[in-house]
Amino acid sequence: MTSARSDAPAVVTGGAGGIGSVLVRELLRQGRPVRVIDNLSSGRREHLPTDAPGLELVEADLRAPATYAAAFRGASEVWHLAANADIRRGTADPRVDLENGTLATFEVLEAARRADVGRVRYTSSSVVYGSATVLPTPESYGPLLPESLYAASKLGAEGLVSAYAHSYGLTVHLFRFANIVDSAMKHGILFDLFEKLRRDPTRLEVLGDGRQAKSYLRTEDCVAALLLAADRAHDRVNLFNVGNADRISVREIAEKVVAAHGGRARIDYTGGPRGWTGDVPQQLLSIEKLRGLGWRPSLSSAGTVDRTIAELVAARAASVPDRPAG
């Protein structure tokens, strides 16, 4: 299999997305040629420096390998980030995650095998743990019992990646993400809450009882973790949690968002411990394996949320609604 070289192209699927585009920019900054494969269904062309030397964008559907197979020729590694980013969408349409997650991952692995690409880095999710009874949850936790079709798709894809490593000699990295956020993302709790207040500045509906608590990590910290692990971990199969060392509740996040909009909106909780079908309300990953490689988050979960809210306010030029007359 082809070894990783600084002058060999890296393939990044989903490279026009929120995390993928940050990874692409960092690879380019390091002098790596990058070939992005993205169908632009949720990723955006403007996320990428399309005029940057060494960057090639292939607009293609991963389920149609003939349309992008050429992008794998001569590449030394694949970063496979493309997936359905909306867990609730997968519940409404059960084929979404099977096709855009598990089956698409199979096609990416086949393209890598046929092109003799020796390294695959796959971004999975903390939801593969289900409702873990051990917090912080280490990579060795089991059994893994997914509670959403999105989670099942991620776990199935992990199995394929591991099997290809052992069957065809690939070196693979599996990354289980906590909540990764920044102001460019068009999904997730912060985006959803800002959109709700844009539509109705007087009321903020929050799914669940507000006691859900998870860790949040900035995209820059996430990408730094990925690159460090890829550089320093060299087993056949390398598995890492990627998250923060602490967590923050949904109630705290909602209160911060309301405060950023002037503090006048009423917060209404829908009740129940779970925000929606498939949601894992309590999540905290152990990040000791990454710490052992020398990585640390630059911000806490609360700090991550605060910075992202400030960016969203600035980007949207959010204004405080006028106080009603009377």
Mean pLDDT computed over 197-223: 97
Classify residue 324: in a domain, yes or no.
no
Based on the residue annotation, tell me whether 129 is a catalytic residue of this protein: no
Residue 267 sits in a domain whose CATH number is 3.90.25.10
The model's pLDDT over 26-39, given as tens digits with 9 standing for 90+, comes to 999 999 999 999 99
Q: Clarify whether residues 86 and 73 are in a common domain.
A: yes
pLDDT given for residue 91 in this prediction: 83
Residues 36, 121 within the same domain = yes
pLDDT band (50, 70, 90) for residue 90: confident
74 Rama sector, left if φ>0, alpha if ψ -120 to 50, beta otherwise = left
Query: Is the pLDDT reported for residue 218 higher than 70?
Result: yes
What is the predicted pLDDT for the residue at 321?
Answer: 46
Residue-range definition of the domain harbouring residue 305? 189-213+245-283+292-316
Residue 223 near residue 26 (C-beta atoms within 8 A): yes
Residues 279, 222 within the same domain = no
Lowest-pLDDT range of 123-132, 218-227, 231-240, 315-324:
315-324
> What are the pLDDT digits (tens) for 178-202?
999 999 998 899 999 999 999 999 9
Q: What is the pTM of this model?
A: 0.94
pLDDT of residue 4: 52
Residue 101 contacts residue 152 (beta carbons within 8 Å): no
State the distance between the two ends of the chain, measured CA to CA, in whole angstroms.
74
Q: Is residue 175 part of a domain?
A: yes
Mean pLDDT, residues 6-24 taken together: 94
Contact 91, 23 (CB under 8 A): no
Whether pLDDT at 319 is above 80? no
Q: Could you tell me which residues come within 8 angstroms of residue 178 by beta carbon, excluding any fewer than 6 positions away?
A: 126, 214, 215, 216, 217, 241, 242, 243, 244, 283, 284, 285
Mean pLDDT (whole number) for 219-229: 98
In the predicted model, is pLDDT for residue 325 greater than 70? no
User: pLDDT of 251-279, one tens digit each?
Assistant: 999 999 999 999 999 999 999 999 888 89
Residues 118 and 197 reside in one and the same domain: no
Q: Are residues 226 and 301 in the same domain?
A: no
Catalytic pick from 122, 141, 150, 164? 150
Token pair of 161, please? 């990646």
For the segment 233-242, the average pLDDT, to the nearest whole number, is 98
Report the pLDDT averaged over residues 158-178. 98
5 — pLDDT class (breaks 50, 70, 90): low
**Residue 322 scores a pLDDT above 50:** no
Mean of pLDDT values over 80-103: 90
In a domain, 77, yes or no: yes
CA atoms within 13 A on the CB side of 311: 14
The pLDDT value recorded for residue 318 is 39
Tell me what the mean pLDDT of segment 153-178 comes to. 98
3-state DSSP helix/strand/coil % of the chain, to nearest 5: 40, 20, 40
Q: Tell me the pLDDT tens digit for each residue of 110-130.
A: 999 999 999 999 999 999 999
Rounded Cα gap, residues 155 and 53, in angstroms: 36
Whether residue 308 is predicted with pLDDT greater than 70 in this model: the reply is yes
Q: d(Cα 17, Cα 45) in Å, to the nearest integer?
A: 9
Give the total number of structural domains in the chain: 2
pLDDT of residue 6: 63
Residues 207 and 307 in one domain: yes
Q: Is residue 61 packed enough to be buried (19+ CB in 10 Å), middle (13-18) or exposed (0-12)?
A: middle
Of the candidate ranges 86-100, 180-194, 310-324, the one whose mean pLDDT is the lowest: 310-324
The structure tokens listed for 180 are: 């990764």
